[in-house]
Amino acid sequence: MTTTDQRLINELANQPAPGSTTSGGGITLQRGLAAAEPAWRALEREAIFTPYQRFDWIAEIARAQQLEDADFVTLQIEFDGSPAALLPLHLHRKAGCTFAAIPGSSFGNSDWMPVRRDAAALLTRPVLNRAFAQLRDEAGVDVLSFEHLPPQWRGIDNPLLSFPHQPSPDHFYYADIAPTMLETLPKKRRVDILRGRRRLEETLGPVTLRRATTLEHIDQVHAAFLEHRSVRFRQMGVPNVFAEPHFRALFRDGAIAGASEDKPAVALHALYVGEEIVATAVGTYSPCHYSQYINSNTDGPASKYSLVGLLMFLLVEDLIAAGISSIDMGVGDFAYKTSWTQKTPINDAAIALSAKGTAAAALLNGKRALKRHIKQNDKLWSFAKQLRQWRQPKPD
């Protein structure tokens, strides 16, 4: 049986792409992450992309997860002989099918296809059908999977949403940054943050925000982050996922690798009161954007104040000074995010590229739809969290 997606891909695979002289001349499948690096970095100087398609972020994921270079492929698209877009993918095999996804997609915040602004209008469904047919034929991909697809990025519609898609289980929290962002916070919120800062300074010491850029400082901030999150997860009755080896390596090694950069792929910020770290943020940058991947705060005496709010206030000050024009606080519905960002619907898509992938794609889409139904229903989500806590091993 041929699905609607497969039929369209097959029918349109032979149509010439705009700007190419033959049906296949504008698309190249590059194997291996290392081999793709030169063209990828060159395109980054011109392309629109989120931090989660940055070469340095994906390279850190590859190292942290010890992924094989042979399992990476990159689709590169040219118009009129000039590189215009690329799609980095990692292949994995399960139940007899080959799946392709942007590396880190399942725990990242936004899937996107880096594209030059002047070429975005040419990145049409027929062009992508040809590219995906080539991905199937040359790399044997059965299912192409995307998660957390934002509708737009920096004024460009997401080209991947030309394929059938469905709402993600969570929402995405995004905002443009204006020089007046801090002044236009809701008055009560701004007053509460500044009052908390004043009282902290009066009772516990000076309040400062510092980014970790030395090995010793990175280790200190990372240790504080892990401790904060461990306490929080223990209260929730779930294990600390960020203590797992691949997350430890991603955050620590990524921060070390980018220590000398102004806008690194992994940045650790710490909020200090005196010399105590009371809150932390792990984030990543693209040229004009900062994404806060995760934050933490202490449960000590300072916790009665809005520590995450104060951390965000000082961080936004730094981002404005650095010329950053937008920010996100990732996926996941938490009320505190709405003080800084706007709740934005995002989408997932599992696309069958072969007959073998039809059932797998349908199963994946169904699983994500069920997850959304649970997470967006207060009663079901409360029950799911209780069940998750009950299933965790009890301490001796």
Q: Is 294 exposed, middle or buried (0-12, 13-18, 19+ CB in 10 A)?
A: middle
Residues 150 and 286 in one domain: no
Domains of the chain: total: 2
Task: Compute how many other C-beta atoms are within 10 angstroms of the C-beta atom of residue 186.
Answer: 10
Residue that is last in its domain, among 306, 323, 343: 343
The whole-number average pLDDT for the span 171-190 is 92
Task: Compute how many other C-beta atoms are within 10 angstroms of the C-beta atom of residue 56.
Answer: 20
Exposure string over 355-375, b if 16+ CB within 10 A, otherwise e = eebbbbbeebbeebeeebeeb
Question: Does residue 86 surpass a pLDDT of 50?
Answer: yes
Q: Is 184 exposed, middle or buried (0-12, 13-18, 19+ CB in 10 A)?
A: exposed
- For residues 193 and 316, the answer to whether their CB atoms sit within 8 Å is no
Residues 287 and 181 in one domain: yes
Domain that holds residue 41: 4-169+346-391
The whole-number average pLDDT for the span 174-192 is 92
Residue that is last in its domain, among 324, 343, 362: 343
In three-state secondary structure terms, 117 is: helix
Residues 82 and 218 in one domain: no
Exposure string over 139-153, b if 16+ CB within 10 A, otherwise e = bebbbbbbbbbbeeb
Q: Give 300's pLDDT tier (boundaries 50, 70, 90).
A: confident
Q: What pLDDT is attached to residue 392?
A: 63
Q: 185 or 131: which carries more pLDDT confidence?
A: 131
Question: Does residue 17 surpass a pLDDT of 70?
Answer: no
Residues 43 and 71 in one domain: yes
Let me know if residue 396 belongs to a domain.
Answer: no
By percentage, how much of the chain surpasses pLDDT 90?
79
Q: Give 15's pLDDT tier (boundaries 50, 70, 90).
A: very low
Q: 377 or 48: which carries more pLDDT confidence?
A: 48
Rg of the chain in Å (alpha carbons): 22
Question: Does residue 390 surpass a pLDDT of 60?
Answer: yes
pLDDT by residue (tens digit) across 188-222? 999 999 999 999 999 999 999 999 999 999 999 99
Residue that is last in its domain, among 304, 320, 343: 343
Q: 371 or 256: which carries more pLDDT confidence?
A: 256
Residues 95 and 162 in one domain: yes
pLDDT by residue (tens digit) across 102-156? 999 999 999 999 999 999 999 999 999 999 999 999 999 999 999 999 999 999 9
Q: What pLDDT is attached to residue 341?
A: 95
Let me know if residue 201 belongs to a domain.
Answer: yes
Residues 82 and 148 in one domain: yes
pLDDT by residue (tens digit) across 40-82? 999 999 999 999 999 999 999 999 999 999 999 999 999 988 8
Question: Does residue 383 surpass a pLDDT of 80?
Answer: no
Q: Which one-letter amino acid corresponds to residue 124?
A: T
Residues 337 and 350 in one domain: no
Residues 244 and 115 in one domain: no
DSSP 8-state code for residue 185: S
Distance CA 18, CA 156 (A): 18
By percentage, how much of the chain surpasses pLDDT 70?
90
Q: Give 10's pLDDT tier (boundaries 50, 70, 90).
A: low
Question: Does residue 6 surpass a pLDDT of 70?
Answer: no
Residues 262 and 215 in one domain: yes
Pairing of strands 27-31, 342-344: unpaired
Residues 293 and 350 in one domain: no
Residues 324 and 360 in one domain: no
Residues 215 and 359 in one domain: no
Let me know if residue 35 belongs to a domain.
Answer: yes
Let me know if residue 313 belongs to a domain.
Answer: yes
Question: Does residue 389 surpass a pLDDT of 80?
Answer: no
Q: What pLDDT is attached to residue 19?
A: 38
Q: What pLDDT is attached to residue 345?
A: 97
Q: 385 or 375: which carries more pLDDT confidence?
A: 375
Q: What pLDDT is attached to residue 234?
A: 84
- Which CATH number fits the domain that encloses residue 191? 3.40.630.30
Let me know if residue 180 belongs to a domain.
Answer: yes
Q: What pLDDT is attached to residue 3?
A: 52
Please give the mean pLDDT across all residues of the chain.
90
Q: Which one-letter amino acid corresponds to residue 303?
A: S
